Amino acid sequence: MKATHFGRNAALAVIAAGALALTACGSDNATGTSAGTQSAASGANVTGTLTGIGASSTGAAMDAWKAGFSAVNQGATVQYSPDGSGAGRKAIIDGSAQFAGSDAYLKDEELESSKAKCGPDGAINIPVYISPIAVAFNVPGVTDLKLDAATVAKIFRGQITNWNDPAIAALNEGVTLPDLKVTPVNRSDDSGTTTNFTDYLAAAAPEVWTDKAAGVWPASLQGENAKGTSGVVKTVTDTPGAVTYADDSAVSGKLGTASIKVGEEFVKISAEAAAKAVEAGAPVEGRAANDVAIKLDRKTTAAGAYPVVLVSYHVVCTTYETKEVADLVKAFESYVVSDEGQKTAADAAKSAPLSKALQDKAKAAIETVKAKA
């Protein structure tokens, strides 16, 4: 079948309205929310403990979602361990978690494996969080750079070893670049952020990035590594000349970020630019109607789109052992994708709200979750 694009106008309208909020990341960034405004998004009051494992990129949003959901469901608790997207997908497949957070949708073979614990229809991917991935660097005196895909690929492959390299200088006329060693820093864990970043490089700079997209960084490449989003950001912050890729919500302080060349323009990182890139995506072919996985177009030339973007999913079972667990999953995920949940996340994590079209698809998918007969 031919894939159809998600509605651009719907996404822009939602962004302009500031609707759809989710809050944020790691315990360092938890944000308070008002219980009085949340009742419409939370659905029926539920109780129990819901356990999730997965992406660290959404840490700030997860903290906000947990707080907002528990405020109106005082007998319910959500526990989330940010062990990485790969760990999350493994946990939902082996039954050690009731939902997974993943910056990459389940592969076909993972979907098949999920049927053992998630029922005959397996697990489904529900988009909950859209965010740009920053190419973040620690270059004293420089906070903004312009880079194209080939130059980014050469930096992370170790082919550009100094910040005043002619390739960088040619894209940044008038910027004083220091004679400083480039130190690439990659994720050491199986990461959906790595999957999305390498997917961009493989698609946009195939002549340089000759490895396939993967959640595990190529072992053949030199450089530093650290675990989790917070790990790579801390390493770069502590290391002059270092550069990494990380969810934009985690980048702050003295780190600079790169504008990425798209078509003939350089696009500055922002939630709005990330949303435009997702609008150019299409449904993954061959999936069930209630699976909302998105194939991103990394080579888009759409004006204002920032293609180094991730869509983070909550991966849930289509069938749970008990009605209590199924109801808890449905209530939490309904809050997460609601206008209120998405706005909370945007405020806390600089994420882009789901478009109305994508939000409706997510809500419909959540409604199909059930308990064993």
Mean pLDDT value of segment 329-354: 96
The continuous run of DSSP H or E covering 89 comes out as helix 85-94
Entry pTM: 0.81
pLDDT digits (tens, 9 = 90+) for 260-272: 999 999 999 999 9
C-alpha dist (Å) from residue 241 to 24, 178, 185, 228, 348: 29, 9, 10, 20, 29
CB–CB of 99/70 below 8 Å?
A: no
Q: What is the pLDDT of residue 373?
A: 79
Tell me which residue of 314, 324, 320 sits closest to 46, measured CA to CA: 324
Q: Distance (Å, rounded) from C-alpha 282 to C-alpha 6? A: 7
Whether the per-residue pLDDT at 146 is higher than 70: the answer is yes
CB–CB of 328/50 below 8 Å?
A: yes
Q: Give the residue, 250 or 12, on which the prediction is more confident.
A: 250
Q: Distance (Å, rounded) from C-alpha 276 to C-alpha 317? A: 29
Select the highest-mean-pLDDT range: 23-32, 84-93, 277-286: 84-93
Strand partners, 137: 243, 256
Q: In terms of C-beta density within 10 A (0-12 exposed, 13-18 middle, 19 or more buried), how is residue 216 classed? A: middle
CB atoms within 10 A of CB 285: 10
Q: What is the pLDDT of residue 35?
A: 36
